[in-house]
Amino acid sequence: MLTQVVTPNFYRYISTEACKVVKPVREASKTLRHIHFPTRRPYTEGLEIQEKFVRANLDFKLMEAKISRHQKSVAEQGYVLSDYESELLAKIASLKPCPTVLTFEFEPTYTGGKREKQNTTASDVAKYEAKGAQYVQVERGGQVTYHGPGQVVAYPILDLKSFSNLSLKCYVSKLEKAIQAVLLRGKNYASGSSTREFGIQTITTTDTGVWANEEEKIAALGINARRSITSFGAAINVATDLRYLNDADLVMCGLSDKTTTSMEALGVQSSVKDVAFCFAKELGNILGVERVEHLDGDELKVDGEE
């Protein structure tokens, strides 16, 4: 199975022309489904939930490929599908999963990207876990990062081919722009506590992620794609305990000379839920979708709980 992984600086030198306006090219992609999980949970549970959605998308793509081969074979033999068969195939195509963004708040966890697989030793794991956090190896780009309370972890799951002009490189750039839009003009609208915009000016640099300035990162990115289906995504620091990220003994994202900040550290108060809702809204805007639906993950019980 072909897997693409975004590594640091993978997409930095993209011309303006290369990342054009993105629009859905299939009916199913005109709606972005946002599922927020309000209950803080272990990181591994989030991985399991994400994999269920990714697998559903991959299985549908496999079925589409089989149908396409069948249609081609029928045409090559000079046969024509009946109206019933054509309608049936059209109905199947309409069942394609819509783009989904899962948002979580996790228990303290350090995760290692693919570049860490061969380098991380048992003593390294012990060093991370000595900080009171779990260490988990995952299948995404990048190196070691942290997830924990006070942080939005957002996993968009979508088919890149269901949108115009959306290469993997441009997709990562769009994620950054969505985060920047959240930090600049996002509001605490979900709770109704404020209508004032967050107003945080950010930049992108030659290093992956979104930065409050040249030295302080406020949001990290790590992406994976299988057969154009995306997984993993972004982590936005809302009120994160920065001691987990700025410990002198640990290196986050392979950047030993940089530090991490948060919205709270910059004087902006918000909740994980509000920032998660804002991210879904801004991502929908950037992808050109018509509707963003917000759902409660705890009520849906998509993690298989009874």
Residue by residue, DSSP assigns 218-270 as EEEEEEEEETTEEEEEEEEESS--GGGTS-TT--STT-TT-EE--TTTTT---
The structure tokens 């000079």 sit at 78
pLDDT of amino acid 248: 73
pLDDT of amino acid 118: 67
Q: Provide the CA 104 distance to its chain's centre, in angstroms.
A: 11
DSSP-assigned letter for residue 98: P
Question: How many Cβ atoms sit within 10 Å of the Cβ of residue 288?
Answer: 18
pLDDT of amino acid 6: 44
CA distances from 69 to 65, 72, 181, 226, 238 (A): 6, 5, 42, 20, 48
Q: What share of the chain is helix, strand, coil (3-state, %, to 5)?
A: 35, 25, 40
List residues forming the annotated binding site: 140-147, 220-222, 233-235
pLDDT of amino acid 120: 77
Using CA atoms in the order 137, 280, 170, 258, what is the torsion angle rounded to 10 degrees? -50
CB 255 within 8 A of CB 82: no
pLDDT of amino acid 273: 95
pLDDT of amino acid 188: 84
CATH domain 23-62+94-296 topology: BirA Bifunctional Protein; domain 2 (3.30.930)
List residues forming the annotated binding site for substrate: 140-147, 220-222, 233-235
CB 193 within 8 A of CB 29: no
pTM to 2 decimal places: 0.87
pLDDT (tens digit, 0 to 9) for every residue of the chain, 306 residues total? 334 444 444 444 444 445 789 999 988 999 999 999 999 999 999 999 999 999 999 998 888 877 777 667 767 677 776 776 667 666 766 678 899 999 999 999 999 887 666 677 888 889 889 999 999 988 887 788 999 999 999 999 999 999 999 999 999 999 999 999 999 999 886 555 556 899 999 999 988 899 999 999 999 999 999 999 999 999 999 999 999 999 877 767 777 788 999 999 999 999 999 999 999 999 999 999 999 999 999 988 765 554
For residues 13 and 16, give the distance between their C-alpha atoms in angstroms, rounded to a whole number. Answer: 9
So where are the chain's domains?
A: 23-62+94-296
The answer to whether 253 is a known catalytic residue is: yes
pLDDT of amino acid 207: 87
